[in-house]
Amino acid sequence: MGSAPEDALRWARRLAAARDADGVLAALAEAVHDVLGMTVAVNLRRPADDRFEVTYVIGGGAEAAGLVGEEYEAESFLVVCDPVHQRPDGLYLVPADSPFWDAFEGRVVVEQEVVLDVPDAWRPGDMLDIALRDRQGEIMAVVAADDPADGRVPSPDQFGVVAPDVHMRSP
């Protein structure tokens, strides 16, 4: 792993080279996995039935990998992108104890077993979400991540590497 500026440049080039939405999503998922050491699930919106589908998972165990193909109603799923959880860099950090989880319907995998005894510990059930919007501002995909390898909430520099201003074309 390089420095934050080196990582940011490398991943910005990778995103710029992506030829389609799937390439952008895969590059972003790999950046989050590489830079933050997190398990990552790509959730792509299917506008025809207004559902999100898990299309790609990187990291984690067999249970996380088993999320591929899982579908969620958009209305329920989008609670993870509520402005109350939005950080200044545009990322969403939803804590495990957020009341918004009560409105979320669908399968969630939490594989984290150890919690560090430090102020910046990542807790089982915490989630980082990166919303990718189309040119009209509609969320077309959400890259969701959890369980950082070091057990800590990422630093502002690390968040900066994975907080791209990405717009997708509707399929």
Arithmetic mean of pLDDT, 17-31: 74
Q: Residue 111 contacts by C-beta under 8 Å, 6 or more apart in sequence?
A: 39, 60, 61, 63, 64, 147
Structural domains of the chain, ranges and CATH numbers in brackets: 4-168 (3.30.450.40)
86-125 confidence digits (pLDDT tens): 988 889 999 999 999 999 999 999 999 999 999 999 999 9
When the pLDDT of each residue in the chain is averaged and rounded to a whole number, the result is: 85
Work out the burial of residue 142: count CB atoms within 10 Å of its CB; fewer than 13 is exposed, 13-18 middle, 19 or more buried: buried
What pLDDT score does 170 carry? 44
Instruction: Using pLDDT thresholds of 50, 70 and 90, give the confidence band for residue 56.
Output: very high
Q: Rounded to an integer, what distance in angstroms lies between the CA atom of residue 30 and that of residue 46?
A: 22
State the pairing for strand pair 167-168/71-73: unpaired
Give the bridge partners for 146, in sequence order: 39
Residue 153, pLDDT above cutoff 80: yes
More confident residue, 32 or 53: 53
Whether this model's pTM surpasses 0.75: yes
Q: Which of 56, 69, 141 lies closest to 106 in space, CA to CA?
A: 69
What pLDDT score does 162 carry? 75
More confident residue, 102 or 167: 102
Phi/psi-derived region of residue 125, left when phi > 0, alpha when psi is between -120 and 50, beta in every other case: left
